Structure 1
Amino acid sequence: MNILVTGGDGFVGSNLCRELADDGHDLTVLSRSPDPSVLPDGTETVAGDVTEYESIADAFAGQDVVVHLVALSPLFQHPNEPRQETVQVDGTRNTVRAAIEHDLDYLVQMSSVGVNPSGETGYVRGKAWAEWVVLTADIDTIIFRPNIMFGDADELSNLTELGTFPYLTPLPDGGRTPFQPLWVGDTAAIIADAIGDDDYLNGIYELAGPEELTLADVTRRIYRSKGQPVTILPLPMKFVEAGLLLAHFIPQVPFGIDQARSLKMDLTSSRNDLVAFGRDESQLMTFDAYLERS
């Protein structure tokens, strides 16, 4: 199949492209500044901005499927960057329009755990409204809602290491908010399995990792893998919120009030659709296993 992957040179996209290339698909990656060094040999690249329709439309010619991955980070948001809703909603609307006008077979949409049109953060609101754009369009779709992902160059591990210290470190509210982290390699393999199988069309699939962890758990495990102990010092959320609210108005700081709100969100998945792909949790990479092999 001819597959266009928007944002295909990013964290998820580069892993997915390797899976798709191994499956024998012909790939084109579209992003604002494509990085061929992270892509399989033979991958075509196209520069374009999904928020500007004319810059992306031609890339859809001759494609069978588009996998739409473009999104702003839920963790880093610079005040000078486009808003979450602009990228998620307008970018998805343009992607859907181009897919329909070029008569693609279907669209694969990367959504997220915790999507909610009236949610606490711009990220979960934007993802929810992007789903609405896809679901109300005249095209077949597959929607994935993965939990927080970890892997090489992930934001979860990098942000944890950037914002914590060995031996004694503060964490907002003691880092108690739960989630079910999922290895990006498992996510990529599942999405690749779905592409080309019509049984998955027009389904919405939640994907979660094999264990429920908190930011405190992740912090302890990262430092344990380095042979360093760490004690967590709970930091009251009111101080975190005040600090990040002020940071929102400092152009050099890529954090803001949305990041404080996200730290209070329960991101455990309401269900786990692994069984639809012939998998169970025992087959997934755990966070400890990933750290051991890194």
Structure 2
Amino acid sequence: MAEVMLRSAELVTVFGGSGFLGRHVVRALAQRGYRVRVAVRRPDLAGHLQPLGVVGQIAPVQANVRFAESVKRAVEGSDVVINLVGILQQIGRQNFKAVQEDGARVVAEAAAAHGVRLVHVSAIGADKNSNSLYARTKALGEEAVFSAAPDAVVFRPSIIFGRGDGFFTRFAALARALPVLPIVGAQTRFQPVYAVDVAEAIARAVDGAVAGGKIYEIGGPQVQTLRQLVTHVQAVTGRQRPVISLPFGVARVQAGIIEFLDKLTLGLLPDALVVTPDQVKLLALDNVVSAEAIAEGRTLEGLGIAPSAYEAIVADYLWRFRKSGQFTEVRI
């Protein structure tokens, strides 16, 4: 209790705290007794976070990483800053460079100006020489972070899963809607990591238990191909569909058409159907923890966290995609 009371004086500002990973991070911080300031573009849409703590512990504020002044105001008075902001698809002014490169720089410079510690979340696959603009801007964002805040802690997670995710949930929705499942990168390897485990690693960094100035690669306990993961989704949901592996050339053309139609309809296409050409480029590369990170202990296990297996978690939230929901008998 004494430790919680001491931490209650510490304020952690979380940029992007209302998103999928953000709510897990906010919960982990609140459970430790930190005061949490959630910096988001739409504070009116972040009210769902407040029940994760006691009255007054979690406070949403307006900030946009594209506008430096709003970021500076959000950082004022903070003891630690966390940047979770990232996008998978460019929409208008919310483009990869503005959000993941320039935005990362703005947050890092604001944290450095106020002399507070910074935790930055990037992604496995970040590479400034990548063909993918997403991966390039992630890497350039990391460079900007370390340039402004050399002692920052940077996490690179693999695909993050959990209730409301955009990975297992997407394929479950597609299996329910389509007679066949066309996928690209069927043999590409992934290392799905539980959102709660990622949030715990971030919270330990806030605690000061994670050495700064390093990049930590965060993955789950298993490496699986995309086909294997999709097959598991089918088993969990009880919806067996033929899986068609698309050549990358065909997938790029298809993704370009889908992206054009999505823009033409002002984003009315179902999210599960939207795949961009840049995402196709990402699917050509394995998304797993590197051998170097494992050898140097820059992993969940190296931080003393036992990663959760996706098989033990996904059935708890994919049951709604079964024909009769929780009443459907499914053998996995």
Q: TM-score, normalized by length of structure 2? A: 0.80
Q: Deviations over 1:85-132 (max 9, x none)?
A: 11011111111222122222x100101101100212121111100110
Q: Percent identity among equivalent residues?
A: 28
The answer to whether the 8 A contact 2:186-2:227 is kept is yes
Q: What is the aligned counterpart of 1:101 among 101, 113, 118? A: 113
- Residue type of the alignment partner of 2:101: V
Residue 163 of structure 2 corresponds to which residue in structure 1? 152
Counterpart contact for 2:301–2:307, Cα < 8 Å: no
Q: 1:49 — aligned with what?
A: 64
The answer to whether 1:264 aligns with 2:276 is no
Determine whether 1:140 maps to 2:146. Answer: no
Quick one: which amino acid aligns to residue 49 of structure 1? N
> How far apart, in 2, do the equivalents of 1:199 and 1:166 lie?
44
Residue 75 (structure 2) pairs with residue 60 (structure 1): yes
Secondary structure class of the residue paired with 2:286: coil
Letter in 1 for 2:107: T
Structure 2 residue aligned with 1:5: 14
Contact 1:147–1:269 (8 Å) recurs in 2: yes
**CA distance 1:138–1:167, shift in 2 (3 Å):** closer
1:38 and 2:31 are equivalent in the alignment: no
Task: Describe how 1:153-192 pairs up with structure 2 within 5 A.
Answer: 153-165=164-176, 169-173=180-184, 175-192=186-203
Which structure 2 residues correspond to residues 225-236 of structure 1 after superposition, within 5 A? 225-236=236-247
1:243 maps to what in 2? 254
Within the candidate set 276, 281, 287, 2:302 is matched to 276
Asked whether the equivalents of residues 114 and 269 of structure 1 are also in contact (C-alpha less than 8 Å), the reply is no
- 1:23 partnered with 2:32: yes
Matched position secondary structure for 1:82? coil
For residues 188 and 21 of structure 1, what CA distance do their matches in structure 2 show? 12
Q: CA, structure 1 residues 245+2, in 2 after alignment: closer, same or farther (shift >3 Å)?
A: same
CA distance, structure 2, for counterparts of residue 221 and residue 171 of structure 1: 15
Q: Which moved more, 1:19-28 or 1:264-273?
A: 264-273
Deviation at 1:5, TM superposition (A): 0.3
> Residue 209 of structure 1: SS of its match in structure 2?
coil
- Local SS of the residue matching 2:105: helix
Offset from partner CA, 1:223-259 (integer Å, 9 cap, x none): 2112333332222322211111233333136542112
In the other structure, the counterpart of 2:315 is 292
Task: Give, as a single letter, the amino acid of the residue that structure 2 aligns with 1:50.
Answer: V
How far apart are residue 81 of structure 1 and its match? 4.6
Distance 1:187 1:263 in 2: 22
* Unmatched 5+ stretches in structure 1: none
Aligned residues: 287
TM-score when scaled to structure 1?
A: 0.90
Matched residue SS, 2:148: coil
- Residues 118, 149 of structure 2: 8 Å contact kept: no
Q: Report if the CA contact (8 A) 1:172-1:237 is conserved.
A: no
Question: In structure 2, how many angstroms separate the alpha carbons of the residues matched to 1:139 and 1:126?
Answer: 19
Tell me by how many angstroms 1:173 deviates.
Answer: 4.3
Partner of 2:325: none
- Structure 1 runs (4+) deviating above 4 angstroms are 165-168
* Whole-angstrom distance in 1 between the partners of 2:279 and 2:61: 32
Kindly provide the amino acid, as one letter, of the partner of residue 30 in structure 1: A
Distance 2:149 2:201 in 1: 25
Residue aligning to 2:215:
204
Q: Secondary structure at the match of 2:242?
A: strand
2:231 equivalent in structure 1? 220
Secondary structure of the residue that 2:300 maps to in structure 1?
helix
CA offset digits 1:145-168 (Å, max 9, x no partner):
111100011110232133345895
RMSD of the alignment, in Å? Answer: 2.1
- 2-structure distance, mates of 1:133, 1:140: 12
Cα 1:227–1:60 change in 2 (3 A) is same
Which runs of 5 or more residues in structure 2 are unaligned?
Answer: 1-9, 268-273, 318-332
Per-residue displacement from partner, 1:184-237 (whole Å, max 9, x unpaired)?
011111111222225512222111111112222222212211233333222232
Which of residues 123, 141, 148 in structure 2 aligns to 1:130? 141
- Contact kept, 8 Å, 2:175 with 2:234, in 1: the verdict is no
Per mean C-alpha deviation after superposition, the further-off stretch among 181-190 and 256-265 is: 256-265
